[in-house]
Amino acid sequence: MEALNNLLKLISEPLVQFFLWVAVLFIIASIFFDRRISFWVSSVGATYFWLKSQDPVVALKAWLIVMSLFLIILILKFLFNLNVVLLLEGKKRCPMCCEKAYRKAKVCPHCHYRFTSEEDECKS
């Protein structure tokens, strides 16, 4: 019962409600659009509807959170040569054909390039 009360408190927060709107709109937009386009359609749509009926400061905070995450991902990619998306997928890029391969793969399934042990430990 305590967990349910905590969940209800969390859902009553305006910032959480904004991100729930984004999630619902993303699911709907995913039916009609590509994943990347769906993200932007849902984000801009949720912001538009939120600004028409709710506090604009909440939408600003939400966009600051989203842009901060993008900035962190870009910093990791360009300063440390770390591809966060591939890391989360458990994959790496083949240096010959640039296709995705599983991190533990010894041979690229697309071009049959043999990964060296140094490439196996690389973070991209």
Q: What is the pLDDT of residues 83-99, one digit of tens each?
A: 888 888 888 888 889 88
Q: Give the pLDDT of residue 113.
A: 92
Beta pairing partners, 114: 107
Are the C-beta atoms of 123 and 87 separated by less than 8 Å? yes
pLDDT: which is higher, 76 or 120: 76
Sketch the domain layout of the chain as residue ranges.
Answer: 1-80, 82-124
Supply the pTM of this predicted model: 0.65
pLDDT in tens, 38-85: 988 999 999 999 998 888 999 999 999 989 998 998 898 888 888 888
Q: Give the pLDDT of residue 123.
A: 45
Are the C-beta atoms of 92 and 101 separated by less than 8 Å? yes
How confident is the prediction for the chain on average, in pLDDT? 87
